[in-house]
Amino acid sequence: MTLRLRSHSFADDATLMMAIVNRTPDSFYDKGATWAEDAAVERVRLVAGQGAEIVDIGGIKAAPGVEISAAEEKARVVDFVARIREEHPQLVISVDTWRAEVADAVLAVGADLINDAWGGADPDVVDVVAQYDASLVCTHTGGVQVRTRPHRIEYDDVVASAIADTVAYAERALAAGVARESLIIDPAHDFGKNTFHSLEVTRRLGEMVDTGWPVLVSLSNKDFVGETLDKPVGERLTGTLAATSVCALAGARIYRVHEVVETRETVDMVWTIAGRRLPARAVRGLA
């Protein structure tokens, strides 16, 4: 399905890199490397130069941590979004927030996409996104409370749960007025899941793709990769790219990443093997 992310459109055979830009002092991966605004601006310039189509800006750590008010979250992201919008008109700007108040503020200054990583915890998000004719990522969290880790969570079928919850969220957004071509579903690896759940979601991702909704995966340096390979944060790139290959073969459209170049090459190679993309050049045995 052709994707429309507010004023940006992408053909139905396009895969997109969503580069992570944290405006937090305590992110699990970069430990606050882009907490300072100038450092965050340089990160955006870097990933844009590497070919990322989307930047995903977050003002609050998803994991448990210091409590951050909506006002503080807005202080971290709203002016920054406005600055990036002015400097990079070609980029899709996503903001990682579950709060309708924050979504309203960032969409007003030029954001295109709300990445609701907590699966509709604030029911007003869909109305805000519809008001701006913007786009929305609908995630699966298994009902876990915002900013908590899962504890002995169980599913009869984790993939069936992910499909049911994300499709229901997308349909609720559709009913609120969000355009169908602007809705994305995300199984949300690690969120509301143990490692076995995330591995099963990866293995069966094609079932989510088969719903017809565009699928986003956020695999980069996740705990399920670290636990599978017994690797700490910072040493999970190989495992991340292996999981990326499986999701790419299944047909995932958007990849939320720390490493843009490596992920792009992995996805392009897999999509070409799958017959969805032509080689960049093919002269061997032909010239």
> DSSP letter string over the chain?
--EEETTEEE-TT--EEEEEEE--S--TTTTTTT-SHHHHHHHHHHHHHTT-SEEEEESS-SSS-S---HHHHHHHHHHHHHHHHHH-TTSEEEEE---HHHHHHHHHTT--EEEETTTTSSTTHHHHHHHTT-EEEEE--TTPPTT----S---S-HHHHHHHHHHHHHHHHHHHT--GGGEEEE--TTTT--HHHHHHHHHTHHHHHTTSS-BEEE-TT-HHHHHHHT--TTS-HHHHHHHHHHHHHHT--EEEES-HHHHHHHHHHHHHHTTSS--S---TTT-
- Distances in Å between the Cα of 93 and the Cα atoms of 21, 38, 252 are 10, 17, 20
- The active-site residue, picked from 6, 222, 236, 253, is 222
Q: Which two tokens stand for residue 137?
A: 């990522």
Residues 6+ apart with CB under 8 A from 222: 189, 190, 198, 236, 240
In degrees rounded to 5, what are phi and psi of residue 46? Answer: -60, -55
- Catalytic site residue from 76, 99, 256, 264: 256
What is the spatial distance between Cα 54 and Cα 185, in angstroms, rounded to a whole number? 16
Give catalytic status of residue 222 as yes or no.
yes
- Residues designated as active site: 222, 256
